[in-house]
Amino acid sequence: MRNKEFVKIVEESENIVFFGGAGVSTESGIPDFRSDEGIYKAWTEYGRPSEEIICRPFFDRKPEVFFEYYRKNLLYPEAKPNEAHRALARLERQGKVKAVITQNIDGLHQAAGSKNVIELHGSVLRNYCMKCGLSHSMEYVLEADGVPLCQACGGIVKPDIVLYQEEVGSDALDQAIAAIKQAETLIVGGTSLVVYPAAGLVEHFQGKHLILINKSQTQYDERADLVINHPIGEVFAGLYEF
Ligand SMILES: [Zn+2]
- Judged against a pLDDT cut of 60, whether residue 37 lies above it is answered with yes
Mean pLDDT (whole number) for 34-39: 82
| DSSP strand pairing (122-129 vs 135-136) | antiparallel
Beta-carbon count within 10 A of 137 CB: 12
**If residue 234 lies in a helix (H) or strand (E), which one and from where to where?**
helix 232-237
Cross-strand partners of 228: 213
My answer on whether 42 and 115 are in the same domain is no
* 147 Cα: distance to centroid of ligand 1 (angstroms): 13
My answer on whether 36 and 67 are in the same domain is yes
Weakest mean pLDDT among 128-142, 151-165, 188-202? 188-202
For the segment 104-114, what is each residue's pLDDT rounded down to a tens digit? 999 999 999 99
Q: Is 136 among the residues known to form the active site?
A: no
Domain count, the chain: 3
My answer on whether 188 and 94 are in the same domain is yes
My answer on whether 134 and 237 are in the same domain is no
- Here the CATH number for the domain that contains residue 209 is 3.40.50.1220
What does residue 207 show for φ and ψ, rounded to 5 degrees? -85, -160
Query: Which pLDDT score, from 0 to 100, does residue 208 have?
Result: 97
My answer on whether 41 and 135 are in the same domain is no
Provide the residue range defining the domain that includes 140. Answer: 127-161
DSSP structure class, residue 55: B
Mean pLDDT (the chain) is 94
**132 marked as binding residue:** yes
For the segment 174-207, what is each residue's pLDDT rounded down to a tens digit? 999 999 999 999 999 999 888 777 778 999 999 9
Helix axes 63-73, 36-46, angle to 10 degrees: 140
My answer on whether 71 and 36 are in the same domain is yes
Percent of the chain, pLDDT > 90? 83
pTM, full prediction:
0.95
Mean pLDDT (whole number) for 149-160: 98
Alpha-helical runs (H) found in 13-137: 22-26, 36-46, 50-53, 56-61, 63-73, 83-93, 108-112
**33 marked as binding residue:** yes
**If residue 11 lies in a helix (H) or strand (E), which one and from where to where?**
helix 4-12
Query: Which pLDDT score, from 0 to 100, does residue 212 have?
Result: 96
